[in-house]
Structure 1
């Protein structure tokens, strides 16, 4: 497997995200050909920062044309290529076979994302869910840029407090995390929100700090 990062413009990263990306890249370099292919895919996503899992999820859903949440090998490989990840057909096939041990010819998107998404503690999942619920005014599992703008706050950010960035500039950088993969509808789903913050969570060791960051950002 080639461990080059995704071929798309880099997202604006926090220091923690940059450290996560560097750490994940180093871990990839030490993995052998027989190591867990799912762990490799996770690290490849994280080597791009918090948006890696988000982009992977969107590309998988994009190829699920009939909405049954299952993909065959060809569509799975197309999805991986859509992300821009530099992964060989052989290694992508190993990931596919991991989720299709009985050789049925399809894998389930939900199952794959559940395994690739970095594990979060129950307390972290709860605060992320509560933030999304506050944004989801219609309770339909979707939030818009307007919803985000009405709630999301960067006023506790060190870059804002220090004057390095103004509020609008920082908000646009935040939106870039969700827009950089050419999302056309301006909609963020619950899954995408969770995928993004699973990446952010992986860059933060302390549960209390993660909880405080989320509560400050979404005014819980």
Structure 2
């Protein structure tokens, strides 16, 4: 078996174990590796990767470990940051799914700066927040509802109240893996974010 095939098999095995744990599994994996970042550099060396793999129950030998590290290390600086890790493990999505996720992100990113913030959501998502049960009951303010929404999508272990396009795509790649039909995924995203249907979007 050549190196490329072996790496693909290992990535699929790890991804499969993640998805078996549910929609939030890729985020859970990020938390595990965050805990392995003992020097708080937000990057992992190969020793930290090995420790993280063991803690997550993924067994790899030394040769495979080095191949995995090289695959995760996209910018080849001998370290893995969390974006590289999750980007590599993120389940692939069809072009149609990627497009509707991008459309949802664009709608929420009112300032068009590539980041969804509470200020953006106050403008484009306020009515949704005010329908949240904890807002209706008076337990949470509108800002708390919006922050909860952002934190649910933000990078685990390091929520900063802002969601980048990459973080948004990572989250919905996990959601996508639980939905078999492209049309249903599209319908779900449009309903969730009040996006126009395909016919309306072309007008």
The aligned residue for residue 67 of structure 2 is 97
Q: Are 1:86 and 2:57 matched, yes or no?
A: yes
The aligned residue for residue 194 of structure 2 is 219
CA distance in 1 between partners of 2:151 and 2:192 (Å) = 16
Q: Which has the larger radius of gyration?
A: 2
CA distance in 2 between partners of 1:55 and 1:111 (Å) = 15
The aligned residue for residue 14 of structure 1 is none
TM-score normalised to the size of structure 1?
Answer: 0.57
Gap regions ≥5 residues in structure 1: 1-33, 155-165
- Describe the superposition over 1:69-99 as per-residue Cα deviations: whole angstroms up to 9, x where unpaired: x743124346657xx73345x4697355235
CA distance in 2 between partners of 1:92 and 1:197 (Å) = 33
CA distance in 2 between partners of 1:135 and 1:189 (Å) = 11
How many residues end up aligned between the 2 structures?
170
Gap regions ≥5 residues in structure 2: 1-6, 136-144, 196-203
The aligned residue for residue 27 of structure 2 is 54
Residues 130 and 93 (structure 1), Cα distance of their counterparts in 2 relative to 1, 3 Å cut: farther
Cα RMSD of the aligned pairs, angstroms, is 4.2
TM-score normalised to the size of structure 2?
Answer: 0.61
Larger relative contact order, structure 1 or 2 (CA cutoff 8 Å, min sep 6)? 1
Alignment check: 8 A CA contact 1:144 1:187 kept: yes
CA distance in 2 between partners of 1:126 and 1:197 (Å) = 12
Alignment check: 8 A CA contact 1:117 1:195 kept: yes
Shift, 1:123, TM fit: 0.7
